[in-house]
Amino acid sequence: MAAIRSTSPPDPQPLLTLRGIAKRFPGVVALDGVELSLYPGQVTALVGENGAGKSTLVKILTGLYVPDEGQIEVDGKEVTFASPREAWAAGITAIHQETVMFDDLSVAENIFMGHMPVAASGAVDWATIQARSKDLLKRIDADVAPTAPLRSLGVAQKHQVEIARALSHDSRIVIMDEPTAALSRHEIDDLYRIINQLKAEGRAILFISHKFDEIFAVADRWTVFRDGTHVGAGWIAEVDQATLVRLMVGRPVDQVFPKVPVKIGDEIMQVEGLSHPTEFDDISFTLRSGEILGFYGLVGAGRSEVMQALFGLTTPSRGRIRISGKSVLIRSPQDAIREGIAYVPEDRQMQGAVLPLGIRQNTTLAMVDKLTRGLFSAPTKERDVTRRLGQKLFVKAANWEQRLGDLSGGNQQKVVIAKWLATQPRILIVDEPTKGIDVGSKAAVHGFISELAAEGLAVILVSSELPEVMGMSDRIIVMQEGRIVAEVHRDRATPEAIVAAAAGLEGAHA
């Protein structure tokens, strides 16, 4: 079912306007003077690469972040949101890719959580809650019982409950952040129908998606963010996909990430037909010593899930992995380490490091069995390993016993990489290695990744930053919805073709 799209009538008064919004974090400018207007009865698509600032903007609109600069206007009046409750009171609600509700409560309880009707006695009016929930669900043709526990519902039904929750509060501004990521084609069509209904009721919708077919199906307007800045806006009817891709990318790559020439060696890894029932399918590629193999894709592409399978964190349903021509079975991280594979995960604080421990303890964590004598550690060996790798990676610290949590994000990342280099791997997988670190630390990380490749290490670089993956990689593999859709050598890669392939645009070739 196609969504109803407005043409180009005279602009109505916007329900919400953002002017000059800026948000900074240590070492990172997330938003820099961005603008956005949302209009009643219209869908505005917010488009941009991963890291463009879309999520930060949503957090500002929903009261989780307070902007450092700029102003927010609702109905032409300036407002401030110091908390999610204040954004909610202003009529703003968000429907996320992953629902934020309570699985152990009923559908009706979730719909009216935070604003439950009460009877004259002061007690919760359960009869009214059940009746109104039934009416709201019927209003959007949701086949869901108000008494059903939320955990019994599928993803699409949970989205419907969130929409009913928005309607229960009469939210006038609805944010949909990647709402179709886990939906089937039928469920997506059903969502389009609900969007049409919300538009007809005069609500303003901010629709965030990486999928261009959805953007052109539902949106009336478009706005593009790039690197935290506003680079363009207009009517969907007056733009094409190629223009949006160029606006999303729009920056030189080769001068920012100069590639160090390295002689590529023999094949060290072959992956054939690797599949997982729910995450990825038929993944096949090769990797050579001295090579940096880039993996690019948009949210939900399955890149990290493939890497987790290669490191034994998850179990694929089929496929084969060969190391130096020999088939290997990797059922656990211990198996992967034994085969010479190391994995630096995306979330270094939750998965890659123990922040309360010191640098030395974190650096030697993955090889503690090799640095022990019976039941006791060998502190001299630990210090030697930590000193050697810390100096190699230019870790800035007061001493090697300093608590890891006291270091900057960039130095934490260096210690996580040092931990895996201590295992002396032949294959290093780095997942979003520069996420959340400052520009100077990014340059240092890029520098020693190039040095590692020059020393013969085979590197798999997973990155959502297109300049990074294009500037650092010898070859680039593009994934979309769990499958490899393109593979291209760095000399033949163009930003437009890579983004188009990642977005699943028809006829895209990288």
Average pLDDT of the segment spanning 436-443: 61
Q: What superfamily does domain 251-340+456-510 belong to in CATH?
A: P-loop containing nucleotide triphosphate hydrolases (3.40.50.300)
pLDDT at res. 480 = 92
Each residue's pLDDT tens digit, 215-250: 999 999 999 998 899 999 999 999 988 888 888 877
pLDDT at res. 351 = 60
Confidence label for 403 from pLDDT (cuts 50, 70 and 90): confident
Neighbours of 40 (CB within 10 A): 17
Average pLDDT taken over every residue of the chain: 85
The region, left, alpha or beta by phi > 0 then psi within -120 to 50, assigned to residue 394 is left
Q: Are 92 and 61 in contact (CB under 8 A)?
A: yes
Confidence label for 310 from pLDDT (cuts 50, 70 and 90): very high
pLDDT at res. 44 = 97
Each residue's pLDDT tens digit, 312-356: 999 999 999 999 999 999 999 999 989 999 998 876 556 666 777
C-alpha angle 100/32/346, rounded to 5°? 50
Average pLDDT of the segment spanning 113-119: 84
pLDDT at res. 154 = 81
pLDDT at res. 255 = 44
- Residues 6+ away with beta carbon under 8 Å from 303: 295, 296, 297, 431, 462, 479
Each residue's pLDDT tens digit, 26-77: 767 889 999 999 999 999 999 987 668 898 999 999 999 999 999 999 999 9
pLDDT at res. 57 = 95
pLDDT at res. 105 = 92
Q: Do 16-249 and 251-340+456-510 agree at the fold level? A: yes
Q: Which residues pair with 101 in a beta bridge?
A: none
pLDDT at 456 over 80: yes
Each residue's pLDDT tens digit, 144-158: 899 999 989 887 788
Q: Which two tokens stand for residue 321?
A: 């992995």
Q: Does domain 16-249 sit in CATH 3.30.450.20?
A: no
Phi, psi angle pair for 322, to nearest 5°: -120, 135
Q: What are the Cα distances from residue 327, in Å, to 35, 281, 321, 342, 484? A: 54, 19, 6, 18, 22
The region, left, alpha or beta by phi > 0 then psi within -120 to 50, assigned to residue 76 is left
Each residue's pLDDT tens digit, 184-199: 677 788 888 889 988 9
What residue segments make up the domains of the chain, in order of their start?
16-249, 251-340+456-510
